[in-house]
Amino acid sequence: MFVYKHKVHYYETDRMGVTHHSNYIRIMEEARVAYLDAIGASFARIEADGYVSPVMAVEGKFLSPTTFDDLIEVEVYIQEMSLLKLRIGYRMHCGGKVVFEGWSLHCFLDKDGKALRIAERYPQFRQAVESDQEQA
């Protein structure tokens, strides 16, 4: 399982004393970018190939608070892949607890706004799914 690490910054906390919930959505993006790098379909490359990859939807469950200086470990994995859509899952751990679970849904669009067939264009995603399944 791919793991991304994020140390909580002071500016990510709020006056409740904890990491502001909106920042988990940003940490999901950081983790996703690192995951795509790791499987060989980096976001920088996808953009260089002339595509954009908008986020279509996100969901997050905030299970336990974290705060400044905490080290969050983010497991990233492909939850589901259809012809045109990719759902990426995230499970964040800190201090022995699961602190967050979430997913994000993506598509890839060319210059004309037409959706790519993901696995045809980037077989790396198919391989990543298979590799995750073998490990499970």
Strands 97-106 and 2-7: unpaired
Q: Which position has the token pair 């920042």?
A: 23
66 lies in the site for a second copy, by CB under 8 A: no
29 near a second copy (CB under 8 A):
yes
For residue 30, the minimal CB distance to a second copy (Å) is: 6
Residue 130 touching a second copy (CB under 8 A): no
Contact 12, 20 (CB under 8 A): yes
Nearer Cβ to a second copy, position 18 or 129? 18
Sequence-distant (6+) residues with CB within 8 A of 57 are 104, 105
Query: From the centroid of its chain, how far is CA 130?
Result: 18
Does residue 79 belong to the site contacting a second copy (CB under 8 A)? no
Is 49 in contact with 41 (CB distance < 8 Å)?
no
Q: Does 71 bind a second copy (CB under 8 A)?
A: no
Footprint on this chain of a second copy (rule: CB under 8 A): 9-11, 13-18, 20-23, 25-26, 29-30, 33, 42-44, 52, 54-62, 65, 67-69
